[in-house]
Amino acid sequence: MIALLLAEGFEEVEALAPLDYLRRGGAVVKTVGITGKTVTGAHGIPVVCDMLKEEVKTEEVTDVILPGGMPGTENLDASPFVDALLSEVSKKGGRLCAICAAPMVLGKRGYLKGKRATCFPGFEKYLEGATFTEAAAVTDGNVTTGRGMECAVPFAKELVKLFCE
């Protein structure tokens, strides 16, 4: 299962475009509420998640997607659940995906070291050990990053190539 993690203040299009594309492609993706069952995006759109973080069986999660947005990214960054899940998925060789500000979460934890990565302008300083690229979406090894809201569709298409083809 691919876990799409949603925290209060997430960027709606960065979560829902990849979710829609991946489900259309046949991937098993579940939205996981980090801050509750109904999570409200940065622009006031509430999303009812498939499951709460407490319902997640980490052994069943193969890959993780982190949408950006503020304060959504900060809420993901502050979550011990997110830390544990990223660690577990990384140890299994699963894919870690993040767009916009959310690559910050991966960079601060060392998952971007030696990899090419992109992010929302101004967040490059958090891509610790990465080589920054201005690409809309970039995959390097087990990490896929996207630049921002306007790149949600290219990011989603990159994930479809990785998970559905």
Length of the chain in residues, anyone? Answer: 165
The answer to whether 27 and 157 are in contact (CB under 8 A) is no
Give the model confidence (pLDDT) of 68-84 as tens digits: 999 999 999 999 999 99
User: With pLDDT > 90 as the criterion, what percentage of the chain qualifies?
Assistant: 99
Is 95 a residue whose pLDDT tops 90? yes
Strands 46-48 and 38-40: antiparallel
Residue-range domains of the chain with CATH: 2-164 (3.40.50.880)
Going 80 to 82 to 152 to 142, the CA torsion angle's sign is: positive
CA torsion sign, 126 to 131 to 133 to 138?
A: negative
Q: Say if pTM beats, i.e. exceeds, 0.85.
A: yes
pLDDT tens for 127-148 read 999 999 999 999 999 999 999 9
pLDDT of residue 136: 98
For the segment 27-55, what is each residue's pLDDT rounded down to a tens digit? 999 999 999 999 999 999 999 999 999 99
CA distance 75 to 46: 16
- 3-state SS, residue 84: helix
Which residues, in sequence order, are CB contacts of 46 under 8 Å at separation 6+?
38, 39, 40
- Please check the confidence at residue 165 and state whether its pLDDT lies above 90: no
Question: What is the model's pLDDT at position 87?
Answer: 98
Q: Which of 95, 87, 75, 83 is CA-nearest to residue 11?
A: 75
Helices (H), 5-114: 12-24, 72-77, 80-91, 103-108
